[in-house]
Copies of this chain bind each other. A is one copy, B any other.
Amino acid sequence: MEGPKVTPWEVQIKTEEDYKRLIELFGVKPLTNELKERLKELTGELHLLIRRDFYYAHRDLDLVINDVEEGKGFFLYTGIAPSKGSMHIGHLVPFILTQWFQEKFGANVYIMFPDEEKYWAKKVDSVKEVQEKIRNIHARFIAALGFDPDKTFMFMDSEYIKQLYSAAIPIARRINISTAKSVFGFSGDTSIGLVFYVALQIAPTFFEEKRPLIPCGIDQDPYFRVQRDIAPSLGGYKTADILSKMVWGLKGPYTKMSASDPESAIFVTDDYETVKRKIFKYAFSGGQPILELHRKLGGNPNIDVSFFWLKILFEPDDKKLKELEDSYRNGELTTGELKEYTIKKIWEFLEPLQKRAKKINIDKYFYEGKLAQEMWNWKFPLP
């Protein structure tokens, strides 16, 4: 089938149309208004990431809602594999939605930090550095989003491998080289580690005898398609996922926010001056090149990176967002003003997050919290 190229290692999306085609290509379902209404009845409100259609597709979210209504509940699973560079605001997106789900449903959350994946993918050369980043940045900023330390278990693969491996054994038996190659686009020079990693990423979907819900970018769907094929034979639930579009980098619509390119991304550790400079200098604008023209022709919020970020994350007020959109479109609001406002909103989010991140005791999430303590004794039943 023809379509936009998307594997966990390569994403080529160029238009909103591509996202629609991915729904067909991957065989997932669009997040309909009806489903959003059902969710809203349970949560009282919808997170703006869902309300504004950044999360736009799913598998079995309807079944998750059924499970909640029937009192069975569900659990959440997500993760991040640090690579070169730092953590950026795009990385936070799935965690923000995951934290919202935890808050609304009191569900357990499992956060995997694959400290070996990018090393196997040859994107980094040091596992040690990856581990330091996880401890000093990723785990802290994620925890600082408000995860419950007694209902959230964070782990690094190399530390938690004994438990993971108990599930990876029966999982790996059910995935062959051909499947791995075709689903993930592996080639002959792919490391045998990266091939096996598929089984490890699937393992946590069997942590509880409940349905796992995974908020993630649609590029991560291949892992869970494989999971859904094998879950029944392992006596587990097929994963449900809620799938997002990809965040834009500063350089323009459908560009990547890359941890290894500081001009493309706002890092979670950036100070105010850096955020300001990056937005002013690099954030692609939908405005006109000259003020006079802008006043006359207006700007295009649809291709404006600052507006994109306000819309998906930093301006929760729908009315305010509409005002910004309208006044930008009719030329009242200038690019400079829009950027000023975006910087302000980002910093309102980032400054307290940075303060909280500093104070986080990550050991609570890794070892000491209630769920963490339970999980260090977890084992998948031996086949």
Residues of A within 8 A of B (CB): 116, 119-120, 122, 125-128, 131, 158-159, 161-162, 165-166, 168-169, 172-178, 180-181, 186-193, 195-196, 198-199, 382-383
Contacts and interface: CB of A to CB of B under 8 A. Distances in A.
- A-B pairs, top 5 by smallest CB distance, nearest first, are A172-B193, A196-B196, A178-B188, A128-B382, A161-B165
Contact of A131 (B125, B181, B382): B382
Count of this chain's copies in the oligomeric assembly: 2
A187 B180 CA distance: 12
Given A161-B165, A177-B186, A193 B192 contact: no
Contact of A191 (B127, B173, B382): B173
Nearest to A180: B192
B158 A165 contact: yes
Nearest to A171: B193
Nearest to A158: B165
Contact of A188 (B166, B177, B190, B382): B177
A105 to B, nearest CB: 33
A228 to B, nearest CB: 17
A175 B191 contact: yes
A290 to B, nearest CB: 52
A374 to B, nearest CB: 19
A383 B189 contact: no
B172 A192 contact: yes
Interface hub of A196, A199, A382 (most chain B Cβ within 10 A): A196
A170 to B, nearest CB: 8
B161 A176 contact: no
A360 to B, nearest CB: 23
Contact of A161 (B122, B161, B187): B161
